[in-house]
């Protein structure tokens, strides 16, 4: 089945899906950081990516819309009925030119490296067989490996994603056998085994045509078991290119995350103002 485009014009549009509601930290995208709402920093990072020609915030909340317009950025009001950020993304993508590339930048990632965005976009441009691209980072601790909130990705020799899971994957069988079949103990005793694992990060790059196709597919069984939407794309047969992030980022999910990000960004702003 042919469902990817060639993107001859290489038009790249970053869309930031932005809801006000958040289970753990409601209104987080409007929290103040260095004199601006948090989402303004995410917009700035997306604008700084050399491959991105346009940044749009897609929201269903007037407060976020007004804040985005207030910092001189582009915002679009979208339906309140969307089940996911991908559906919100697709609503905006449907209005974009054919064969463009769409970047899904999470609004709560105000420290994402522009170089990470560029790496993922370039990977899709360079690989005409890929439908999507995404990014990963090293896993640096056993706690992160065992944390079900941190998604793991298994990448094949081809550079495409084989599976995404909240469980530790792949299973280090031989190493585990040395420690009575206990993989946790094996990794504790041999921390170099952590290099076998990769953490999936939430940046996605799509060919517009594939994004529109994906948004029309019903949720799949595996997707519902793991609560991972990217498994719908894998079950659909999508080729997802996985590239290394240029650096680690901090997603703002909790008040502790916010305080950490606020301190880092305000420290950076103070350095810039003092230089």
| Residue 53 pLDDT greater than 90, yes or no | yes
The per-residue pLDDT of the chain, averaged, comes to 92
pLDDT tens digits for range 6-16: 554 579 999 99
- The per-residue pLDDT for 33 is 93
- Could you tell me if 130 and 3 are in contact, meaning their C-beta atoms sit under 8 angstroms apart? no
- The per-residue pLDDT for 136 is 96
pLDDT tens digits for range 77-119: 999 888 888 899 999 999 999 989 999 999 999 999 999 999 9
- The per-residue pLDDT for 83 is 82
Residue 247, φ and ψ in degrees, nearest 5:
-170, 165
Band of pLDDT at residue 1, cut at 50, 70 and 90 = very low
Q: How distant, in Å, are the alpha carbons of 14, 64, 112 from that of 17?
A: 10, 11, 15
Band of pLDDT at residue 41, cut at 50, 70 and 90 = very high
Average pLDDT value for residue range 21-37: 90
pTM for the model stands at: 0.91
- The per-residue pLDDT for 270 is 72
Q: Where are the domains of the chain?
A: 12-266+268-272
- The per-residue pLDDT for 275 is 55
The residues, any chain, with a CB within 8 Å of residue 22's CB and separated by 6 or more, are: 28, 253
- The per-residue pLDDT for 75 is 97
What's the farthest any 2 CA atoms get from each other in the chain? 59
What is the signed CA dihedral for 24, 25, 29, 34, rounded to 10 degrees? -130
- Could you tell me if 48 and 121 are in contact, meaning their C-beta atoms sit under 8 angstroms apart? no
Residue 155, φ and ψ in degrees, nearest 5:
-115, 130
Superfamily of 12-266+268-272 according to CATH: Spore Coat Polysaccharide Biosynthesis Protein SpsA; Chain A (3.90.550.10)
| Residue 2 pLDDT greater than 70, yes or no | no
Q: How distant, in Å, are the alpha carbons of 68, 86, 170, 250 from that of 180?
A: 55, 43, 18, 36
Q: Which of 12-16, 164-168, 171-175, 248-252 bottoms out in mean pLDDT, i.e. has the lowest?
A: 248-252
pLDDT tens digits for range 135-153: 999 999 999 999 998 999 9
pLDDT tens digits for range 214-265: 999 999 999 999 999 999 999 999 999 999 999 888 889 889 999 999 999 9
- The per-residue pLDDT for 272 is 66
């Amino acid at each position: 089945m042919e469902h990817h485009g060639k993107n001859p014009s290489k038009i790249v549009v970053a869309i930031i899906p932005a809801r006000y509601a958040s289970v753990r930290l409601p209104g987080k995208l409007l929290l103040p950081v260095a004199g601006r709402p948090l989402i303004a920093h995410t917009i700035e990072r997306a604008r700084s990516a050399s491959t991105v020609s346009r940044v749009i915030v897609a929201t269903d909340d007037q407060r976020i819309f007004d804040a985005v317009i207030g910092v001189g950025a582009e915002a679009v009001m979208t339906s309140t009925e969307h089940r996911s950020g991908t559906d919100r993304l697709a609503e905006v993508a449907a209005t974009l030119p054919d064969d463009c590339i769409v970047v899904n930048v999470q609004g709560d990632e105000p420290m994402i490296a522009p170089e990470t965005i560029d790496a993922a976009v370039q990977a899709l441009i360079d690989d005409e067989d890929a439908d999507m691209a995404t990014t990963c980072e090293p896993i640096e601790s056993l706690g992160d490996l065992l944390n079900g909130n941190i998604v793991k990705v298994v990448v094949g020799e081809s550079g495409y994603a084989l599976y995404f899971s909240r469980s530790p994957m792949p299973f280090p069988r031989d190493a585990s056998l040395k420690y009575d079949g206990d993989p946790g103990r094996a990794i504790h005793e041999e921390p170099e085994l952590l290099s076998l694992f990769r953490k999936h990060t939430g940046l996605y790059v799509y060919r517009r045509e594939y994004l529109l196709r994906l948004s029309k597919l019903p949720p799949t069984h595996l997707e519902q078991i793991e609560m991972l939407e990217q498994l719908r794309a894998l079950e659909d047969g999508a080729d997802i290119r996985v590239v290394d992030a240029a650096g680690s980022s901090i997603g703002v999910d909790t008040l502790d995350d916010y305080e950490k990000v606020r301190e880092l960004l305000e420290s950076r702003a103070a350095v810039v103002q003092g230089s």
